[in-house]
Amino acid sequence: MEHSQPDPLAARRGRVLVTGADGQLGTALREAFARDEVVALTRAEWDVTLPPPTDLPPVDLVLHAAAWTNVDGAEDDPQTATAVNVGGTRHVAELGAPLVLFSSDYVFDGRKGAPYVESDGPNPLSVYGQTKLLAEGAAGEEAWIVRTSWLFGWTGTNFVRTMLRLGSERDEVAVVDDQRGCPTYVGHLAEAVRELVQRPPGVWHLAADGDCTWAEFAEAIFAEAGIRCRVRRISSAELGRRARRPAYSVLRSERPGAPRLPHWREGLRACLERLG
């Protein structure tokens, strides 16, 4: 006897607002919540550094994907990065609807040397990490705070798409090998968020299973894509980026019932399939 699967969002079915709807995460969220009435707003339709548009309809859930994501650029323009990540979150919270805020592994300093869980104390090393931590506070105690890491998808600018481009142009690429984290496919994250909104609000760590360095990730990308390009492993000091990154920022959840994402290699294969 067959039984239909219950809709995991049945208790919260209604109108879902997605900010930053044309970004890689916003695009994935629009797909994951397509069974609901989605109000998808791009930056052109709502620059979140400004108050909410006066003509917005009432919404039942806000997925706040709009964000400043240029980690090094935040060091050069902290005022704008703060206006987007912190001020933007305050403006979204003004809607008064249940809110999902997407935060980052970069709220941690990487010194723990073991997976970070929700009860670990943040200590961001960069302006970007500071703005994400402040955004968590701006979202309020009734929000779902989703800390995730190293996002990649089939649209936008991300590490996978950059490596595919460079690998097709060069025989060798230099990639840092002293930062370890969890590359997370936005398609898997978006599906996990559908499940998460049936859990209590609060801080949740949602990142792909497994972990690797950026160099190991690059090697996997080339291997899966069949690209003959060598990876030269370098240190963060050799790369010389403006912002400091945590050397170890693997995220895991200690909370009962936390959605579990597939391994990052599964996410990589799914992403490459979407890319054709």
Q: Could you read off the pLDDT of 203-217 as tens digits, one per residue?
A: 999 999 999 999 999
Q: Could you read off the pLDDT of 61-70 as tens digits, one per residue?
A: 999 999 999 9
102 domain residue, yes or no? yes
Q: Which two tokens stand for residue 165?
A: 């481009």
119 domain residue, yes or no? yes
CA atoms of 90 and 64, how far apart (whole Å): 11
2 domain residue, yes or no? no
113 domain residue, yes or no? yes
Q: Is 116 a catalytic residue?
A: no
| Domain carrying residue 154 | 13-274
Q: Mean pLDDT for the chain?
A: 94
4 domain residue, yes or no? no
Decide if pLDDT at 11 tops 60.
Answer: no
Decide if pLDDT at 12 tops 90.
Answer: no
Decide if pLDDT at 8 tops 70.
Answer: no
CA atoms of 32 and 48, how far apart (whole Å): 22
**Nearest residue to 89 via CA among 39, 139, 43:** 139
pLDDT at site 7 = 43
88 domain residue, yes or no? yes
What band does 4 get if pLDDT is binned at 50, 70 and 90? Answer: very low
Q: Do 92 and 138 form a contact (C-beta atoms < 8 A)?
A: no
CA atoms of 95 and 61, how far apart (whole Å): 10
Which stretches within the chain are classed as H helix?
A: 24-32, 71-76, 78-82, 88-93, 127-139, 159-169, 186-196, 214-225, 236-239, 264-274
The single residue of 106, 116, 128, 185 carrying the catalytic annotation is: 128
Beta bridge partners of 17: 39, 62
Q: How many domains does the chain have?
A: 1
pLDDT at site 5 = 40
Check which CATH number belongs to the domain holding 142 and give it: 3.40.50.720
Percent of the chain with pLDDT over 90: 93
142 domain residue, yes or no? yes
Q: Which two tokens stand for residue 166?
A: 């460079």
Decide if pLDDT at 99 tops 90.
Answer: yes
Exposed/middle/buried for residue 118 (C-beta within 10 Å: 0-12, 13-18, 19+): middle
67 domain residue, yes or no? yes
Q: Could you read off the pLDDT of 181-206 as tens digits, one per residue?
A: 999 999 999 999 999 999 999 999 99
Alpha carbon separation from 274 to 10, 50, 155 (Å, rounded): 28, 34, 9
What band does 13 get if pLDDT is binned at 50, 70 and 90? Answer: low
